Chains A and B, each alone.
Chain A
Amino acid sequence: MMTKERMDTIKETLKPKVLEKLLSEDKVELRGEDVVLKGDYYKKQVRIALKNCDIIDPTNIEEYIAFDGYYALYKSLTERKPGDIVDEIKNSLLRGRGGAGFPTGRKWDEAYKYEADKKYIICNADEGDPGAFMDRSILEKDPHSVLEGMALGGYAIGSDQGYIYVRAEYPMAVKRLEIALKQAREYGLLGNNIFGSGFNFDIELRLGSGAFVCGEGTALMESIEGRRGMPRPKLHRTAHVGLWGKPTIINNVETLANVPVIINRGYEWFRGIGTEESPGTKVFALVGKVENAGLVEVPMGMSLREIIFDIGGGAQDGKEYKAVQTGGPSGGCIPADLIDTPVDFESLGKIWSIMGSGGMVVMDENTCMVDIAKFFLDFSVEESCGKCVPCREGTKRMYEILDRITKGEGVDGDIERLEELSETVSSASLCGLGQTAPNPVITTLKYYRHEYEAHIHDKKCPAKSCKSLIKYFIEDTCIGCTRCAKACPVGCISGKVKELHVIDQSMCIKCGACYDVCPVKPIKAVSII
C-alpha cells in the first residue's frame, strides 16, 4: 500500500536528481517554485494541464510523484469528503475543455447527488478533430495526471470504475496508458483500499475503431457497450442515466489533467488565472501556415494576436495572415480584423466560432475560404453516423453545392440554398456533430461572402487556390531555363533554351509543378491568374 511517508521519500530523493539533470541540459528554469520549460516559445505560456509534459519521464510513476503527483488524491481520500471535492471543482468554475465548456463541477454535482448502486467515470480521449493533438500529448507525456484526475472524480461522485476511451490511431498513447495503469496498480494508487481509506477505484482502457462521432458522449457510451457508435436521444442527462443506464460522468483528457492541480492549490488560485467566466488555461494546437507550430497553453482571455503573433510568430514565409480556424469541423473561421478578440468561451461564441477542443489552424492569403468550408464538410459527410436525416443528407447536399462552386459551376441561389440547409441541419440534428457541421459554412459566408460571390458570378478564386478557376501563365521575364518544361508531368510546356516558354492551356492540369520549380527572383516568371 502507498503511504504519505513513501511518497515523501520518493519526492525527496528523486526530485533533486531529475531537476539537476534537466538544469544541466539547459531545458528548464525555475519560475517561483515551478519547474517550467525554457525558451521564448514558453515565456508567455502558463502550463497547468501540460505542466509535466517534456519535464518528467511518463513511463516512471515515481517521477510523477516527485513532482507532487498523487498528493491531491492522498489529501482528498484521507482528509476530505466527496462533497468537498465536488464543491472545490464547482468553486473553481473549471469548464469542460473538450469543446462545449460545460462547468465540470455542476456535472459532478449531478452525479454526486443521484443515488445509484453503481456509477461510472469516463475519460473521453477520442480526440478526432483534424489539426488537434493536445490530448494525445497529455496521454503520452503525463498519463498519470489523467489517472489521478479520474480517481478524484470517482471519489467525488462515488464511482469505483473508470473507463478511458482512446482512439486506436494513437498507439503510443495507448502504450503509455497501459504502462501507467500497471504502475499505478503496483503502487496501490489504483485498486482496492487506496491509501488505506477504504476507497476502491480501477480504470479500464477501451479503444475506438475509427469513428469520429464516438467523441460525442452518448455515442462513446454506445461504443463501449458494444454497439454502433450512434448518439442517443437526450431524454436523460448522462449524469443520471449513462453507461449501462447508470449515472456517468464523462470528462475530456485536458479537463481531468486540471483536476489534481486545482485540488492541490485550491480554487482561489485557479480563479486567479484567466477570465472571470472562464478561469484557468487552455491548450491549443497551433498549426497550419504559422511560423512556430506546436502546443501552447495560455491563460483564458489572451488575445488571438498574442497567441498567433507573439508566440506563433505570425504567418509562415512572410505571407499575409488571413484568418484562423478554431474548433475543427464544428468551428469557424475568424478573419484578420478580429485578431484582438480574447480567447475564451464567451468571446469566441460572440463572433460565431467556438473554443472547441483547441485546434487553431492559421491560414494565409493563399487559402480559399470556400475550399476550407468544403474540406470540413467533406469531413462531416464522411463521419456523419447516418442516424439523423438532416445531418446525413444535408451535409452531403451542402458538400455538393460547395464542390460545384469551387469548380466554377456555382449558380445564382447557391448561397441562399447553403444558408437554408445550414439552418435545417443545425436545428434538426440530434448531436453536436450535426448541430455544428454547418458552422464552417456559416462563418465563411458571414465573413467571406465576397469570395463565394467571386466564385459563383465572376468564376474567379480570389485566393488563387481553386484549380478549375485559375490558369498558369509564363510571363516575359522567363529566362528559358527549361526547368518548368522538364517538371511538367503532361509535357504541355514548350520552348527552346534561353527563350520564352509557353504553356498549352488545353493540356495543362494545373498541378503547379512549373510554378514550384521556376527559379526567377524575386517574382516568379510563372504567374497564376
Chain B
Amino acid sequence: MEFKFDMEKNSSKITAFKNFLDEKKNTKGPLMPALQQAQEVFGYLPMEILEIISKTLQIPMAEIYGVATFYSQFSFIPQGENKISVCLGTACYVKGAQSILEEIESQLGIKSGFTTPDQKFSIASARCVGDCSIAPVILVNEDVYAKVKKSEIKNIINKYK
C-alpha cells in the first residue's frame, strides 16, 4: 500500500509526542511506553515517528523494529476510518463470500489486509463471525450486513464515503 505520513497535518500531535518522549527519556525502559503512545496517537507506527523515537531515546531502528513486530497491538500501516471485515467462514464461503471480497477489493482498488490511499477504508477477512444463518455477512465497523449480494456492495460502500 502506498501511503505517506503527513508531517504537516500531524504537526501538533508530533509536538505533543516529542514532549511525551522528553518526559520519558530519562526514565528506565522508555521504549514500550513510547511505542504504545505512538500507536494510540497516530493509529499506527509511522516510520517518521519511529525515527524520532530512535533519535530521542538513542535506540537503533533495528531494535525498535524487533520490539514492535513482537507485540500484536502494534501496526505499521494506518487503519482506515472504516474497517470492512468480510466473513470467510464456511457458510459465507459457499454462499460466495470470496466473490464479495473480490468485489470490495476491486471497488476500493486495494487488497484485503490493506488500507485505501485516502485512508477512508481498510479491508480484512474474518474467521466465522457466528452469523451462518444470514450468510454471507460483512461488517463495516460495527454494522452487520446480512445476505449481501455483489450488486449491493457499491451502495454499502457509498454510505461510508
Chain A residues proximal to chain B, CB less than 8 Å: 168, 206-211, 223-230, 244, 385, 487, 489-490, 509-513, 516
Contact = CB atoms under 8 A, between A and B. Distances in A.
A489 B95 contact: yes
Contacts of B71: 208-211, 229
A474 B63 CA distance: 60
B1 interface: no
Interface string B56-80: 0001000100110011111000000
The 3 closest A-B pairs by CB, nearest first: A226-B31, A209-B71, A210-B72
Interface in B23-63: 28-33, 35-36, 59, 63
B131 to A, nearest CB: 9
Interface string B126-148: 00000011110000000000000
B90 interface: yes
B91 interface: yes
B32 A223 contact: yes
A513 B36 contact: no
B133 A168 contact: no
B29 A229 contact: no
A483 to B, nearest CB: 11
Given A225-B28, A230-B70, A513-B91, 11 more contacts: A168-B36, A209-B73, A210-B72, A210-B73, A211-B71, A211-B72, A227-B66, A228-B67, A244-B28, A385-B70, A509-B94
A227 B63 CA distance: 8
A210 B70 CA distance: 9
Nearest to A467: B90
A229 B70 CA distance: 8
Interface in B86-144: 90-91, 94-95, 132-135
B95 A209 contact: no
A511 to B, nearest CB: 4
B95 A207 contact: no
Nearest to B30: A226
Interface string B148-159: 000000000000
Contacts of A168: 36, 73
Contacts of B134: 489
A206 B35 CA distance: 12
B32 A207 contact: yes
A458 B102 CA distance: 40
Nearest to B95: A489
Contacts of B94: 489-490, 509
B29 A224 contact: yes
B96 to A, nearest CB: 11
A206 B33 contact: yes
Contacts of B63: 227
9 contacts: A206-B32, A210-B72, A226-B29, A226-B32, A226-B67, A230-B70, A244-B29, A490-B95, A513-B132
A209 B67 CA distance: 10
A244 B94 CA distance: 54
Contacts of A229: 70-71
